Amino acid sequence: MSIATTPATPVTVDVRDPLPRLTALFDAGTLQLVAHDDDSGVVTARGDIGGTPAIAYCSDARKMGGAMGTDGCAHIVSAIDTAVAERIPVVGIWHSGGARLPEGVVALHAVGQVFAAMVRASGRVPQISVVLGPAAGGAAYGPALTDIVIMSATGRIFVTGPEVVKSVTGEHSDMESLGGPDVHGRKSGVAHVTTKDDATALATARDLTSLLGRQGHVQPADAVDEGDLGELLPDQPNRAYNVKPLVKRLLDSGDDVESPVELHAKWAANIVTVLGRFAGRTIGVIANNPLRLGGCLNSESAEKAARFVRMCDALGVPLVVLVDVPGYLPGLGQEWDGVVRRGAKLLHAFAESVVPRVTLVTRKSYGGAYIAMNSRALGATAVFAWPDAQLAVMGASAAVNVLYRKQLAAAPEEEREALRQTFIAKQEAEAGGVGLASEIGVVDEVIDPKQTRHRLAVALAAAPAARGAHGNIPL
């Protein structure tokens, strides 16, 4: 016997309606609309997100495609200025074709005022953007000026649309191939997070608002070590591995904890940047990922990490830096791509930052990349190493080929390899491992991997809270 099912009453929901979007962003029952019920194309609201007060503005794409005019821009500026006055996070939900054409330069001036408000707020309160539809022209630079850009599958960000591109350059594209989530998540680095749908995009914005708006305090007693984090490294020292499971295990987990959010997961993937909770407090984790490009630093990854460090510093988020880096990526492409200029950003960002920042060398740290990864010289709060870590200008075998080149060349061929091995052993004993680094104080302590969480938590808790007095320029 079959039971006839009554089809649900079809309800036509306009996905562009700001109300359901804002309702999904705020905690149930806390949403209060502020500016609404006009033709400005912008709705603003306040309420709680994860129990912390926050403000939001949202394009209303049902009105002139969400295009930005004088009134709508004034609403956004007011929302941002209020967030700064109350020191609470501000979230922008974007679905807008850019400036309102009929208003002409008046609209451009208004959009410029939004940009100026964002820069005034930069580094003072967390600013998060969620792009759910097209964000074109002026609406593209709005999200780009904020701290974090989340794009759903239907998000599109571009300065000039496919038609204009075609007429000027002859290139054929559609909105997705021009500025879809795959482009900005993987190629350009414009988007920090890309999600499969709008609901996930808004849920991620909730996690980030809660992490940045209610940071908490490090409670070392809560940093229990379960198992041996060292077991996550491969047995062979020269085998690459994915560092993400290590980052995940380092951070708090549980039903009452926000999911950690990885930023720029697919762009410059050789370095991993994650916001998450650790021992009860929000921290930023930066980790080399040996699985990608061997974990080398390069121009893009240095720039990505530098921006992350500066954001965390401006918003008062302490840092944990997990180091396993063979050096900078060699190559013509890198040099021409400005690895010197862009790599310098990471040195500058770490040296400038005043938040507590603790480094752990898990396996190796070589050369210029050793310095860049929050070394003692750049002002690390504490530097720890696991017992088998190696810190040096380069690996022992590579160093021997340089240091003993003449002696090796002069040796009879049949003895050369044995001699090389002798030199390598000597080099490892004198300049490898953590011995020399501990001796001169650039590593504070070699720690047991089984106590990693606890030792990092104690070091972070002991450091005075501080926050960098600067904005977060989108490097």
Partner 1 sequence: MAEEIRAEMVANVWKIVAKPGDEVSDADPIVILESMKMEIPVHSEDGGVVAELHVTEGQVVQEGDLIATVE
Contact 284, 126 (CB under 8 A): no
Work out which of 51, 216, 227, 331 binds partner 1, going by CB under 8 A.
331
Nearer to partner 1, 398 or 446 (CB): 398
Give CA torsion, residues 403, 406, 409, 414, to 10 deg.
-70
Work out which of 169, 242, 421, 422 binds partner 1, going by CB under 8 A.
242
Work out which of 329, 389, 392, 460 binds partner 1, going by CB under 8 A.
329
Catalytic choice (45, 306, 369, 382): 369
Least distance from partner 1 to the Cβ atom of residue 250, Å = 19
DSSP track, 412-457:
-HHHHHHHHHHHHHHHHHHHSTTHHHHHTTSS-EE--GGGHHHHHH
* Cα–Cα nearest to 319, from 265, 280, 269, 274: 274
Least distance from partner 1 to the Cβ atom of residue 420, Å = 14
Least distance from partner 1 to the Cβ atom of residue 329, Å = 7
Nearer to partner 1, 147 or 324 (CB): 324
137 is an active site residue: yes
Amino acid at 392: A
What is the number of alpha carbons within 13 Å of residue 244 lying toward its C-beta? 14
Least distance from partner 1 to the Cβ atom of residue 174, Å = 17
385, β-bridge pairs: 361, 446
Contact 92, 57 (CB under 8 A): yes
Does residue 332 touch partner 1 according to CB under 8 A? Answer: no
Between residue 373 and residue 432, which ones bind partner 1 under the rule CB under 8 A? 395, 397-398
Contact 36, 55 (CB under 8 A): no
Nearer to partner 1, 151 or 329 (CB): 329
Nearer to partner 1, 57 or 370 (CB): 370
Within 10 angstroms of residue 102's Cβ, the number of other Cβ atoms is 9
* Cα–Cα nearest to 110, from 135, 76, 159, 160: 76
* Cα–Cα nearest to 388, from 211, 174, 276, 236: 236
Nearer to partner 1, 99 or 296 (CB): 296
Does residue 343 touch partner 1 according to CB under 8 A? Answer: no
Work out which of 293, 302, 392, 457 binds partner 1, going by CB under 8 A.
293
368 is an active site residue: yes
Q: Taking contact as CB under 8 A, which single stretch among the options 33-41, 114-122, 240-248, 444-452 is the one that binds partner 1? A: 240-248
369 is an active site residue: yes
Q: Who's near 166: CB < 8 A, 6+ residues apart?
A: 172, 173
Q: Taking contact as CB under 8 A, which single stretch among the options 327-335, 348-356, 408-416, 458-466 is the one that binds partner 1? A: 327-335
Count of residues that interact with partner 1, criterion CB under 8 A: 20
Catalytic choice (92, 138, 142, 295): 138
Contact 146, 107 (CB under 8 A): no
Work out which of 240, 351, 446, 458 binds partner 1, going by CB under 8 A.
240
What distance in Å separates the CA atoms of residue 242 and residue 465, rounded to the nearest whole number?
A: 32
Work out which of 290, 356, 432, 449 binds partner 1, going by CB under 8 A.
290
Catalytic choice (92, 137, 327, 343): 137
Write out the two tokens for 218: 């490090």
**3-state class (DSSP) for residue 32:** strand
H or E stretch covering 131: strand 127-136
Between residue 295 and residue 314, which ones bind partner 1 under the rule CB under 8 A? 296
Catalytic residues: 137-138, 368-369
Instruction: Give the footprint of partner 1 on this chain (CB under 8 A).
Output: 236, 238-242, 290-294, 296, 326-327, 329, 331, 333, 395, 397-398
